Amino acid sequence: MVAKKKLSSKNSGKKPSGNTPVIVQASSPVEATKKVEPVEAFFASPLYDFVTPFRPVGNQWCAKYVIVIFALIIRCAVGLGGYSGLSTPPMYGDFEAQRHWMEITQHLPIRFWYWYDLQYWGLDYPPLTAYHSYVLGKLGAFFRREWFDLETSRGYESLDLKSYMRFTVILSESLLYIPAVIYFTKWVGKHRSQSPIGQYIAAAAILFQPALILVDHGHFQYNCIMLGMTVYALNNFLDGFYAMGAICFVLSLCFKQMSLYYSPIIFAYLLSKSIYSPGFNLPRLFAISVATVLAFIGCLGPIYIFGGYKNLAQMSYRIFPFARGIFEDKVANFWCVSNIFIKYKNLFTPQDLQLYSLLATVVGCLPSFVITFLYPKKHLLPYALAACSMSFFLFSFQVHEKTILLPLLPITLLYTSRDWNVLSLVCWINNVALFTLWPLLRKDGLALQYGVLFVLSNWLIGNFSFVTPRFLPKFLTPGPSISHIDDDYRRDILLPKSIIWRIVIVGSYLGMGLIHFLDYYVPPSLKYPDLWTIANCSLGFSCFMIFWIWNNYKLFEMRNKTLHDL
């Protein structure tokens, strides 16, 4: 039989809304009492309630723009704070590195870009970063030439330069990353009958990810371009435009070499789609191959044309700095944390460590690679990319703390999921990743931004919803889903159903709080000056390992399911 829609006793007598829990088709009285989850993932959260006024069809077009404007305001607010290397001569930091590359690319011929004064922020990213710096440097010099005068502009930190540099990051993200994320959430939502408002809620949750905001708009980098091009590649794969997707991924790779973290999965997916599933497709294989080669030629061609093979070799040497060691500074990965007990640099040569890290990374990537090749399904891509890139972060050579942004991208894209357990783990690992960035952000003078964004991002998606029904008067409750939610649907906090997972997550949060407390109130001894930083990395690594194991298990579990099970 088909049971009629009815409200819970708490809401009896009221007209049911589109997202009120309802009774659905049932074959027995027992089934008739079961309720279904709302399509929108973040039901009972401030983010859900904020977009409620846009739910009528005539208002839905506004929701996207309101969310984007809110996201940009947050980025602008973060940009008012400090940045890497602020007033710290002689080398300053990443802000000065980006400014310096704009300086040298517009004043020097291409053949000198990867050779010029390598001791002072020598260019160490692929050519698209250089071309991007050239364009922004030319544009900036149009306003104030002294910002990028060769050599004499080193350490320049005027207010107008800072404003211009911050604007270039916002512009880059607005043109690439934000549209790509919105398209991804719309595609996923449309293919499983999710409402437009539900799609925008997922997009907002992704755009408010604090780690990327703080690194790009606080610390100062342009990771949004690399990540945006990766999402564009993913969007093209979802639409079946494999050659165009390959081009987008090459562009991501030629902007920052860290996109290699995704390359095994991209390769496995495209290869399987060309030769294995549903069968051998020579035209597709040819198109992907030609598109990939032409994209690399387009990016690398000027470096070769104006500098020859020697220039290409120097570029490769600069972007793969094996001489720097197996890890840079303190980072929450296997090599740094285990180095507490095993002093690798004393026991092994750099060549040995390169080999061992390569083997560990290959073994770590193998499960996601094999599953992607055997089951090249669209809904598996975020899980596979997350597992593979996390393997690189945990086990590869020369990793720094900001590299966590790469596994965070596909992980955060899983905010499109309707599985409460998945959403809980995605939220948790985002918080852990932000925590591991604390030593870097504190050094940049971004402690306030760190704390505010941690609270804001968790509050928006409902991680603090337990506060509203228990500790606030009803007239102060922020919106309908929190104010009138049934007991069966109350979301006290984003935690999985499993008691084991709850213990792990709550325990890790308590550990983070304890480390922050000790870091603030208990100065480390002279013998162990990095004690609290090492504690930070150790806790972060433990959480990343647990998540990585779950990620691979979830990928295996999802291999025979569909997009509707995402």
Q: Where are the domains of the chain?
A: 46-82+167-565, 94-156
Q: What's the sign of the alpha-carbon dihedral 381, 220, 458, 225?
A: negative
d(CA 419, CA 425): 10
Contact 436, 536 (CB under 8 A): yes
Q: Which 8-state DSSP code applies to residue 121?
A: T
The pTM (predicted TM-score) of the whole model is 0.91
Coil, helix or strand at residue 399: strand
Nearest to 258 by CA among 127, 350, 389: 389
d(CA 140, CA 156): 13
Supply φ then ψ for residue 115, to 5 degrees: -120, -20
Please provide the size of the chain in residues.
Answer: 566
d(CA 544, CA 4): 46
How would you write the pLDDT of the chain (566 residues) with one tens digit per residue?
A: 344 333 343 344 443 343 333 333 444 443 433 444 444 678 778 888 888 888 887 778 888 999 999 999 999 999 999 999 999 999 999 999 999 999 999 999 999 999 999 999 999 999 999 999 999 999 999 999 999 999 999 999 999 999 999 999 999 999 999 999 999 999 999 998 888 888 999 999 999 999 999 999 999 999 999 999 999 999 999 999 999 999 999 999 999 999 999 999 999 999 999 998 788 999 999 999 999 999 999 999 999 999 999 999 999 999 998 877 787 788 999 999 999 999 998 999 989 999 999 999 999 999 999 999 999 999 999 999 999 999 999 999 989 999 999 999 999 999 999 898 999 999 999 999 999 999 999 999 999 999 999 999 999 998 877 666 665 655 555 566 665 554 444 455 678 889 999 999 999 999 999 999 999 999 988 889 999 999 999 999 999 999 999 999 999 999 998 887 77
Tokens standing for residue 173: 């993200």
Half-sphere exposure of 132 (CA within 13 A, CB side): 24
Q: How would DSSP label each residue in 320-361?
A: S-GGG-SB-SS-SSHHHHHTTTS-HHHHS-HHHHHHHHHHHH
